[in-house]
Chains A and B, each alone.
Chain A
Amino acid sequence: MKSIRLYLIIVLLSTICLVNFLAALQGYRRSMVEASQLLDEQLAEDARLVSRLAAAGGNLPRDMYSDSMVFQVWQSNRLLHRSNNAPETSLSPMASGYHMQSYRGLRWRLLVYEDDDPQFRVIVGQRADVYARLVENIIVESLLPIIWVLPILGLVIWLIVSFGLSPLKRLAVLLRQRRAEDLTPLDVSGYPVELAIVVSSTNQLLSRLAAAFDREKRFAADAAHELRTPLAALKVNLRNLTDDIGADNDSVRELEASVDRMGHSIEQILTLYRLTPETLHRQKTAVDLQGLAKKVIIELYRNFQGRHQDIELQSEPVVIEADEFALMTLMRNLVDNAGKYTPPGGRVLVVVKPEGQNALVRVEDSGPGIAEAHHSRVFDRFYRVGGDRHDSNVIGCGLGLSIVDHIVRLHQGQIDLGRSAALGGLAVAVRLPLPEDPGHQKGHGTKKSAVSRTEDSHPAHGNTEAKIANENFSSENIPSKKGPGTNRRGKKERGGDRPTKTGVGKPSYRHDKRRASL
């Protein structure tokens, strides 16, 4: 059943039609029987009258009856009297009783009436169709109102059903409009008994859900305190131990790696629990994805440098309504993953740009990628390709992509895995919906135009990349921890210098197209 309303309207109308019309048919049949009896009684009366008039020896007027009636008076085989419309031969067999005969192309109901004298017979008849038509006309007149009223009845049923379903509709609207974080009970009043049960059950469910969320939040807060504090102490003690026995000890190195892994896992788990729908709705702001990507790359740049990897950002200004912390986490996980699973000397490309109604964040690498068979599972919590035998030798707990997926879902976005056409490794594409209000993008659009003009001054680059700011990061354009003064990129731009990549392991600055400075 697709629609309760349609079901009720069709079933009710069908039932009404069946009942009404079957009743009308039954009435029609009964009326026909009654009419037939009435006709027979009328014929008997007429026959007695004609018989008495004829027996009295009087002259019977031949035209006193209408065309719908005939009579004949027979004595033995001699016709004594007849109506003008009757033939001179017998209208029917002479056996007494009622007969149906055809005469002049019409059906006639005839009565052969035998009085006291068996030689004296009167035949009277009436057209059968006259009575039938009369009855049919009565039935048709009674049927027509039923037929005409059917559309009105359909409309009335539609209105009644709509009214009856209105509490259900009201409840559906109430549930649909609820914010994800709103777990307060629904107001039970105003609902009919049948729906009150549903509302009450929903309230019980909401209550259990709220309790579960509370437990989860308490767990996250407790875990943050209970796990981070001893971990910090552990790290300090480990540092002291390293100082005492030296950093070359294998056991110490393994212990350091384990502690790092534990710290990473704890942070990822806590991140996952911090990202709930209710906190997300509270913390939504306008987030500049381009700026965010740069921040993340700068933050993680030392890791790339340590692995002699080349990271490049191709971006356009794009702003979405989102939780900045969540998106920072998303971006950090994607970029960090790309770096970790790309061999030393490899390349990572980050693309940020608007794409139709979405903002696109794509991170590609030149690593081994992920076989398609694993694509559906890599978003599962604690799942790592290859399981415990994971051979990447990098710290991980199988939560990175799971967190990314979680954040994408919270923002009603979409995530796709594939193979990078440019670098040959994994390509992770995240699409997040742009805000409906285009005003968010206006300010950046102006900037984009200005950049396009800048790009025109670099004829070496084709139209394909005309709108994209392409930045290749090096130690020179990454602000050092001492402050922004060490960033010399602006100086190089002004000089029109176009440094080229000097080779893997020595990331260099390539300002192919650029709109914003770091």
Chain B
Amino acid sequence: MLLDAVIIILRETLEAGVLVSLLLTIAHRFHLGARWLLFALATGLVGAGVYAASLATVSTWFDDVGQEVINAAMQYGIYLSLLAISLLISLVATAKRRYLGGFLMLTVVLAVVREGAEITVFFTGYLQNEDVLSRALTGGFVGLMLGLSAGALCYYVIVSLSPTMERRIQHVMLALMAAGMVGQATQLLIQADWLPSTMPLWDTGGWLSERSVAGEIAYAIFGYEATPTPVEVGFYSVALALIPLSVLLCRHFGFNARQEV
């Protein structure tokens, strides 16, 4: 129970923590402050509460796979938002900074709604059992602190880099995390039988277990999956390649009013 709680909460908060810290470094680079984050977190938490309360209804949608489909839709939404952020920080002039703030907020809101709803559902399942609940809460707290600590350290590591290195790390992490979102969403659609389920292409579970801390970190950063199917690998690869390709195409077609700040 304790380990389950740690793993589940760590999985959610580590991913959200690393994502938010990455977005904060972008906001820091473009002098956007942190007020947007407070607003996004508040909106996301309210959204998570509403979504968790409605999950019973949502689950019945689309032939009882509503939760998987809606979660997948949110993941794809995060991917598109991260794609927009990649384009904005690569190409447009500082005059368009307000759009960047909007996409940063949208990403955080979607991430918090999805992760927050799952955490809420996990804990409400143990509300009646006090003994289990206390262990689940302890485990959850440990997972939460691990995720937040990793996020905080990630933020300070990135902002302490040289500007050039900081930009490179941001671009690479944005692309990897965005592709990871697509990988997770695809997995959900496979679970919902919206996409075909086939034999895994490989199994790296023996080398890096998904349930280990290292596996969780890999999952949070680039959506590590020990036994991916060909469909997942295909979607992941396309999503990963699309981000640098979009940046290159936009530059090629003249949207290159880049103005570093």
Contacts and interface: CB of A to CB of B under 8 A. Distances in A.
Contacts of A15: 149, 153
Given A1-B159, A28-B2, A143 B138 contact: yes
Interface in B81-134: 134
B3 interface: yes
B213 A25 contact: yes
Contacts of B46: none
A18 B153 contact: yes
A139 B2 contact: yes
Contacts of A139: 2
Interface stretch (B72-80, B140-148, B227-235, B237-245): B140-148
B138 A147 contact: yes
Max chain A C-beta neighbours (<10 A), residue from B134, B138, B150, B213: B138
Contacts of A21: 142, 145-146
Interface centre among A7, A132, A136, A147 (most CB of B within 10 A): A136
Contact of A11 (B1, B141, B156, B213): B156
Contacts of A28: 2-3
B156 A17 contact: no
B162 interface: no
Nearest to B7: A25
B160 interface: yes
B213 A17 contact: no
B152 interface: yes
A3 B66 CA distance: 46
Interface in B1-56: 1-3, 6
B204 to A, nearest CB: 20
A132 B142 CA distance: 18
Contacts of A7: 156
A17 B146 contact: yes
A8 to B, nearest CB: 10
B135 interface: yes
Contacts, number: 57
A25 B150 contact: no
A143 B142 contact: yes
B135 A14 contact: no
A140 B2 contact: yes
Contact of B141 (A1, A29, A147): A147
B149 A17 contact: yes
B138 A18 contact: no
Contact of B2 (A11, A136, A150): A136
A26 B160 CA distance: 30
A10 B152 contact: yes
Interface string A113-157: 000000000000000000011001101100110010010000000
Contacts of B159: 1
Contacts of A25: 3, 6, 142, 213
A32 B149 CA distance: 26
Interface string A226-253: 0000000000000000000000000000
Which of A10, A21, A24, A29 has the largest count of B CB atoms less than 10 A from its CB?
A: A21
A25 B149 CA distance: 15
A200 B108 CA distance: 47
A101 to B, nearest CB: 20
A212 interface: no
B213 A140 contact: no
A22 interface: yes
B78 to A, nearest CB: 25
B61 to A, nearest CB: 31
Interface string A366-404: 000000000000000000000000000000000000000
B217 to A, nearest CB: 11
B152 A136 contact: no
A10 B24 CA distance: 15
Given A14-B149, A21-B145, A140 B135 contact: yes
A153 to B, nearest CB: 12
Contacts of B134: 140
Nearest to B138: A140
A11 B157 CA distance: 10
A22 B138 contact: no
Nearest to B3: A28
B146 A22 contact: yes
A147 B144 CA distance: 12
Contacts of A14: 148-150, 152-153
A406 B152 CA distance: 47
A11 B153 contact: yes
A17 B145 contact: yes
A465 B195 CA distance: 82
B213 A22 contact: yes
A417 B135 CA distance: 71
B145 A144 contact: no
A18 B135 contact: no
B8 to A, nearest CB: 14
Interface string A443-462: 00000000000000000000
A136 B3 CA distance: 9
A150 B144 CA distance: 14
B142 to A, nearest CB: 5
Interface string B150-190: 10110010011000000000000000000000000000000
A13 B149 CA distance: 8
A21 B156 CA distance: 20
Interface in A199-232: none
Interface in A14-49: 14-15, 17-18, 21-22, 24-25, 28-29, 32
B30 to A, nearest CB: 15
Residue of A17, A22, A32, A147 ringed by the most chain B CB atoms within 10 A: A17
A326 to B, nearest CB: 38
A139 B213 CA distance: 18
B135 A136 contact: yes
11 contacts: A1-B156, A10-B152, A14-B148, A14-B150, A17-B145, A17-B148, A18-B146, A18-B150, A29-B3, A136-B2, A147-B142
Q: Please name the 7 residue pairs, one residue from A and one from B, whose CB atoms are nearest each other, closest first.
A: A14-B149, A17-B149, A14-B152, A17-B145, A136-B2, A18-B149, A21-B142
Given A21-B142, A29-B3, 14 more contacts: A1-B156, A1-B160, A11-B156, A14-B148, A14-B150, A22-B146, A22-B213, A24-B142, A132-B1, A133-B1, A137-B135, A143-B138, A143-B142, A144-B138
